[in-house]
Amino acid sequence: MPAPRPAHRSTSEHGAPEHGTSEYGVPDRSTPSDLLAPRPRTGGGRTVLAAVALTAAGALLAGCGAATGTGARPSRLAEQGPLSTTAGAGGAASRDAPRTVRSTPTTTPAPATLPGVGPKTLSEIPAGSDQVVLVTGAGHDSSTSRVRLFHRDPVTGWTAAGPVWPAHNALHGWSADHHAGDLRSPIGVFTLTDAGGRFPDPGTELSYDHAPIGFQSPGTGFHGESLADSFDYVIAINYNRKPGTTPLDWTRPLGASRGGGIWLHVDHGGPTHGCVSLPKAVMKTLLGTLDPAQHPVVVMGDAKALFA
């Protein structure tokens, strides 16, 4: 009589019993949670603990910042506040660490320069000069200009101290090599120290020579205009002259051939022989503003020459 066959065991592809059947073929009436109990079974010589699955499930619920005690609580980001990248005790992220505030670096702007004046011309302005009368010619051969007064602040640089004023210069324009009779105004940077005029001193800090006879100007200009009021107020431009003397002084350190007697004076409505002429009210303003303690200078020339 053949030996009885053992009961058939239904297993999965990994050798474990299929759900609902015990390893001995007896129907399993246990609840699904019993499947997770740490019950040993044999199969292929291995012992598998179902508690591993329970441990893994617990780890998933723990998370970062989970509550201690019995049972796991879902993470609530609103309660946790912003997460910090700084780890606290036990490797947890620290919520109390102060945030680092990055300050934006500030850049101090460079001091402002004179508009339209290039580095070469700027370098000719004495370091101690804090007032500039800027005369910018319309062109190398033009007899019209514009004039503006500037003040230098040690921090912010050059700033305008008045509006732009219309002016005239020499009939034929400008020259970097002025000579007597060329009817061109000299280009360059020149100090301003002395003044005078046919009218009394209007209250200037510059030395002032009141000479009603000496500053008379008879005749007419290139366009037939009267020159009678031209020298009511004058400021000597220290080109080929001796500073500290009246504008009427005829000393010519560079020689007579290089010309001289170049002044700022009252405009007569047309070109000059070499001077720069401005409205009478502007001349009074300059006389009342220029301060010897600030070592005023005039920067003059056509726009292209000044930009060098």
Contact yes or no for 142/136 (Cβ under 8 A): no
Contact yes or no for 82/88 (Cβ under 8 A): no
Place of tokens 């970097």: 176
Mean pLDDT of 185-201: 98
Long-range contacts of 147-153 (CB under 8 A, 24+ apart): 147/276, 147/278, 147/282, 149/286, 149/289, 150/114, 151/294, 153/111
Q: Alpha-carbon Rg of the chain, whole angstroms?
A: 49
What was the pLDDT predicted at 96? 60
- Lowest model confidence (mean pLDDT) among 84-88, 186-190, 198-202, 223-227: 84-88
Which residue type occupies 76?
Answer: R
Q: Cα separation of 23 and 17, whole Å?
A: 6
Selection from 211, 207, 289 nearest residue 243 by Cα: 207
Distances in Å between the alpha carbon of 166 and those of 137, 144, 266, 299?
Answer: 10, 8, 12, 16
Strand-strand pairing, 174-175 and 185-186: parallel
Q: Residue 58 has which token pair?
A: 């617990």
Given CA atoms 300, 282, 231, 220 in this order, what sign does their dihedral have? positive
Give the count of beta carbons closer than 10 Å to the beta carbon of residue 283.
24
pLDDT digits (tens, 9 = 90+) for 211-243: 999 999 999 999 999 999 999 999 999 999 999
Strand-strand pairing, 276-278 and 263-266: parallel
User: Which run of H or E residues covers position 58?
Assistant: helix 51-62
Q: Cα separation of 8 and 24, whole Å?
A: 8
Q: Say if residue 261's pLDDT is above 60.
A: yes
Residue 32 — very low, low, confident or very high, per pLDDT cuts 50/70/90?
very low
Return all residues near 298 (Cβ < 8 A) that are at least 6 apart. 132, 133, 134, 135, 189, 190, 192, 237, 264, 276
Strand-strand pairing, 157-160 and 174-175: unpaired
Selection from 303, 306, 307, 302 nearest residue 172 by Cα: 302
pLDDT digits (tens, 9 = 90+) for 50-108: 333 333 333 333 343 333 444 444 444 334 444 444 444 445 444 565 666 666 666 66
Contact yes or no for 281/261 (Cβ under 8 A): no
Residue 196 — very low, low, confident or very high, per pLDDT cuts 50/70/90?
very high
pLDDT digits (tens, 9 = 90+) for 173-185: 999 999 999 999 9
User: Which run of H or E residues covers position 282?
Assistant: helix 280-289
Q: Cα separation of 260 and 136, whole Å?
A: 20
The strand pairing partners of 162, in sequence order, are: none
